Amino acid sequence: MKRSVGRLVTGWTLAGVGALFAWAAYRLGARGMDTLRGGLEAGQWVALVGLVLLFVYGEGFLALDQRWVPKLVQRARRLRDEPGVLIRLLAPLYGLSLVGTERGELLRGWAGTLVVVGAVLTVRVFPEPWRGIVDLSVAAALVFGLVAIMRRVPHAVGTGE
């Protein structure tokens, strides 16, 4: 029974964070697609392709897939041994390092969140089509990150041994 609850908590952590990625990718992707429907000039297409490649490789692969998602999985698995119900209910926030962890991890989690909020506020003032180009590039990186989470779920919720 304890092992089943631990697996459920690990799954809830990854599903919650995955849902956040999916929601953000959907919203940003929809804005980006609206921009594409409005039409782009040749230089803007080059910028779009270049930014998508840069974001998918830099943020999606290097930052998310190779560094951040493995740490997310470790945090999710750590919750298996936590006796508290509240921290288990807040598992996605724990996975994001926003609650219930060591001071350094909390500071990094909240600093990362503030950087994302700052980036969102900055991109919001970009004129079209540049805002849509950046939004679509970020959405592509988030989809890559979501796939990185999903492909680790079977191992993470399993015994891992």
Under a CB-based contact definition with an 8 Å cutoff, are residues 150 and 65 in contact? no
Q: What is the pLDDT of residues 129-139, one digit of tens each?
A: 999 999 999 99
116 CB neighbour count, 10 Å cutoff: 12
Tokens of 6: 């631990």
Q: How far apart are CA 107 and CA 104, in angstroms?
A: 5
Q: Which residues contact 47 (CB under 8 A, 6 or more apart)?
A: 130, 133
Calculate helix-pair angle for 103-124, 130-157, nearest 10 degrees.
150
Report the percentage of the chain scoring pLDDT > 70. 97
Helix (H) or strand (E) holding 40: none
Cα 82 from Cα 111, distance rounded (Å): 25
pLDDT tens profile 36-91: 999 999 999 999 999 999 999 999 999 999 999 999 999 999 888 877 889 889 99
Domain hosting residue 50, numbered range: 2-157
Segment 6-45, tens digit of pLDDT: 888 999 999 999 999 999 999 999 999 999 999 999 999 9
Question: How many structural domains compose the chain?
Answer: 1
